[in-house]
Structure 1
Amino acid sequence: MEEVELLQHLRKILLEGDRYLVVIDDIWDVEVWRRIKNAFPDKKNGSRIIITTRNKVVSEGVEDTCFVHELSFLSEDESWQLFCKKAKPTLNLEMLEEFVEEQDGVVMEDVAEDYVNELINRNMIQRELQTVDGRVLECKVHDLVRDLVIEKAREQKILGIFDSGKQHANPRRLLQGQARHAIFNGLGEYFKLLELNSDNLNLRSLALTTETASLKTEEIKLIYTRFQYLKVLDLTSEWCHIDTNNWTNLRTLVISDIEDSEEEEEYSLECLANLTSLGTLVLILGGVISTMQPLSSCKHLNKVFLVCGMKDVAELSFLPDSITDLTLAVDFTEDPMPILGSLSNLTSLCFIHCGEKMVCGADAFPCLQFLHITPTYSLELQVDDGALPSLRAFTIDRFTMGRIEIPLRLLSLPPVPDFINNTYGR
């Protein structure tokens, strides 16, 4: 029976019967619905049609009178169990570069973002965290999609995942030939495998997210001697003074080192001065940075997230002018605005804790579009003429009972999209 005849026959059956319930599963193209919809007569008797789709465009284009129900994804706890420690893979465009086809006149990152947004619209992945200007930072996936992604990533030599808590007949095979490693448990076992492997010199991305152990100095040394072509490094470990001469390709560095200690530790950033290709830096430290001067050598640095102590607000003057996104959780004793206001490319600025008075001088922050402030207690924000000419959104978190004075011009702006919690996967 031809398609037209089949649709006519179906319509006849439905017209002759009573109320009907039809379930059409997994429609990927709205044109498919338009071809078959005439087979389902509107008998005004409570008949219903249920359509399932992973393509958001289909759900929006079916009928004006339809009701769209978006299924929720797994909770974080459920995802935790299903996907080792975490099931919210962080979007990092540097990691996508080998999967993105170049297009004339289009920046590679924009092409990659289009890919991700298409997956979001098709409900293959769900937006979990975004930057202040709406760019995706984190996504989470349905468990079925997760299983498929992991399997395909392993088969196509995209990503190797190691978890000592899981039973693997041959753990070496999980990592063999993989350009990216994600380690969720068992750092010691992982590094023993490295000593046996001879094909890990071309590793491009390494994420060590275990929370049960910290890296030893010799393990850090093994990383920087064996992995000379790393582009992404995510460490949850104790701070180590390391030789970074071999890491000229590193583009993303995440280090978290917060431990209870009676003495305030001092951290040196000297080892970062060699990272001339670094674009994203996340430092979550439980002590004080001695000086920010080494960052002045990182001329491609554009995203910085700092949770730490700082000896002097003047250290901010060492931040390179290339920075576009800056988040600071630093207890300043002086106003940082006079220094930060001269960063000509800064488009997004977030303060987690700030002093009682901040002044944006004339012509300060020429490109800033998004400003998010969480005062420590009270705050007086002064904005002089000509300052913040490009500001599009402003948010101030009122978590204190202190006095807050903000110019009306800023209060009239729309709020900044939520991007603080779990920033950069933390």
Structure 2
Amino acid sequence: MDEHDLLQYLSKLLQDRGCYLALIDDIWDIKAWNQMKIAFPNQKNCSRIIITTRNKKVAEMADDKCFIHQLRFLTEHESWELFCKRAEPTTPDMEELGKAMVSQCRGLPLAIVVLSGLLLHNMNYNYWSEVKEHIWRHLKDGESFQIEEIVSLSFNDLSPKMKDYFLYLARYPEDDVIDPVELKLLWIAEEFITEAGEGEGVIMENIVENCFNELINRNLLQVNDLGWNGQIKSCRVHDLVRDLAIKKAKEHKLLVVLESGKHHPELIHLLEGQPRHVIYNEIGEYLKLVERRFDALRVRSLAVSVSLVGNLKDPSELRHLPDSITDLSLIGSELTEDPMPTLGSLSNLTALQLTDVYQAYKGNKMVCSENGFPSLQILRLEGFMNAAESALGNASGALEDVKEALTLAPNYPAFCDLEAASSVFNSTLLN
């Protein structure tokens, strides 16, 4: 189903349903709205469409009968209250510095919370004074401090190790709800932390937990949902923070993001020197473009997120993946054949994620080839609706070995530690 077919399908669906309310988030330009508005029939039956945008011109040009509600900025008092919830000054001098910096945020909540997260890290007058002077050096008369500059201040204040943790957030799609357990395991799988680097006896899970909490405290990660025990169940990255992470990750040669709809005239040059590739749709085009250069590119990890447009259905398309890959994520790929025989040949693969957004795999059985996945440590199979309890592998004795080797992360049974598993791995699809 391509984009046109999807719009036609939605239009017919809404016509059949009668009155509807549609919310479309974050429209960047009027062309995008003009392309998709054909999906929303006007049957004069009190249906309504709500659009959010950061571009006022989009709102003004969307429809000549639309009502524009422009969100107001925080007042000076509201801004200071928000700041003090995170970094309340301890002395009158620090309060004076804080109010001067908050005033330059011009009532923008994100700028205020990121600034407070930066100052909370070091609650002393000299540090706050240095931050204020840095802000003033980058301002002209009458200007406000830009969000990117405030986020950059927080980024530059991170240790080299913490910068890697932050930049890795660029791998997640815009507005994605992030599973903290998944994120921490991926940090470990990517070897941002190793036992050799940290010393013998160090528990790596404790270290990544501390790093996760630091990003939360600095407001570079936002809490999305809390459990009954106060533990963070999910989190998000603000769009503007994510934009900076994508930009800096590319500059630091940590990760590069390729999104459909964006022109990449020199794709190979863009990918050179980048150990991690993140693909949103157009995976088939990506594989065709780079298949002859994969080994030379030395890709370490590949994350693929596929929507209804640009599905990856044939696992043989993955045969050109290089042996250097250690981390692979396929989300919503709609594979029609068992991908395990193909993926099992990746000798260095330590982390594999298959997530069923629109069905990552349409079959009901997965069987790994003999000696497949020799290095696999982390496996996530999530939300496979077609999976059957009886659809287990048929290799003699394999199932018992795998069950004995499974180490389930709390509340996340799809995560498995397969370090002790036998060389022949056959498993059910875990829901």
What's the TM-score once normalised by structure 1's chain length? 0.48
Q: Which structure would you say has the larger Rg?
A: 1
TM-score normalised by length of structure 2: 0.48
Structure showing the higher strand proportion among its residues: 1
